[in-house]
Amino acid sequence: MGLMDVRLVQLAAGIDPAENRDLVDARLGAIDPGASLVVLPEATMTDFGPTDLDLASFAEPLDGPFVALLARHARRIGATVVAGTFEPSTAELGAEAPPFNTLVVVAPDGTLSATYRKIHLYDSFGYRESDRLSPGTIEPVVVDVAGRRLGLMTCYDLRFPELARLLVDAGADTLVVPAAWVAGEGKLHHWRTLLAARAIENTVHVLAAAQGGRRYTGHSLVADPQGSIVVEAAEGDETLSAVLDPEEPGRTRSTNPSLANRRIDRPRGDA
């Protein structure tokens, strides 16, 4: 298993999908072939915008123009690309159901290899994401990329350690966290602390690609399995680079075998 060459793209998306595609096209176009994984933030296709913005009118199917753009760059770079979109709700939820906050994973050949619909909607700090979006089903999504096992989380999911543990129990050795982490008092401290905690308690790499700009915290970062920050952005547009050693989680677990030492397992139903 070789080293994983990662790029985290921090940007500030707007509410015009065509302008966002131009922005993403330029940012991905600046990445040379050879990277293994490229991660963009939550809501890259279209930002959340004001609270009265109807996100359903912006939602795109998974074969729409945004995913097609990601596929073109995935093929050119030869990398897996992960990014945040809004996806129309399913027929089972009814025609009036809000869309999903969805991560798409596009393989190096341009095919859509996985999706993750955000489970924990941001009903916190005076905001109600559930008024505008539908939650995904409670099912961990783990994807094989360049010999690594990537577990997918989105933004507010970070505050729920049980999801990270489900992903690790499903085989993830790396957590990928696209986010639009709203700025505010103490929020940067929460962001850094929670990312480090998910890395430490699960002895995994954590890759967090965040939106920047005045509305969001920015500070995309890579944390190693000991919770140390390998590289971190500031608040503005930036592309971070990191190379992950696939042996590092195993080395960390040899000295900190907390996963193996667990005595409290996941809740089980009655036998």
**Structural domain of 238:** 4-255
Domain tally, the chain:
1
DSSP 38: E
pLDDT of residue 271: 42
User: What pLDDT is recorded for position 138?
Assistant: 95
Amino acid 11: pLDDT:
98
pLDDT the model gives residue 205: 98
pTM greater than 0.85 (yes/no): yes
pLDDT of residue 135: 96
Per-residue pLDDT of the chain (271 residues; tens, 9 = 90+): 689 999 999 999 999 999 999 999 999 999 999 999 999 999 999 999 999 999 999 999 999 999 999 999 999 999 999 999 999 997 676 768 899 999 999 999 999 999 999 999 999 999 999 999 999 999 999 999 999 999 999 999 999 999 999 999 999 999 999 999 999 999 999 999 999 999 999 999 999 999 999 999 999 999 999 999 999 999 999 999 999 999 999 999 999 999 999 998 755 554 4
Q: What confidence score (pLDDT) does residue 265 get?
A: 77
CATH code (residue 144): 3.60.110.10
Q: Look at residue 14 and tell me if it is in a domain.
A: yes
Whole-number Å distance between alpha carbons of 130 and 42: 16
Nearest to 140 by CA among 112, 111, 175: 175
9: in domain: yes
Q: d(Cα 122, Cα 100) in Å, to the nearest integer? A: 13
| 112 within domain boundaries | yes
Question: Active-site residue numbers?
Answer: 42, 118, 155
Asked, for residue 266, whether it belongs to a domain, the answer is no
Q: What is the pLDDT at residue 266?
A: 59
Q: Is residue 141 part of a domain?
A: yes
| DSSP per-residue codes, 144-209 | EETTEEEEE--GGGGG-HHHHHHHHHTT-SEEEEEE--B--TTHHHHHHHHHHHHHHHHT-EEEEE
* Within-domain flag for 145: yes
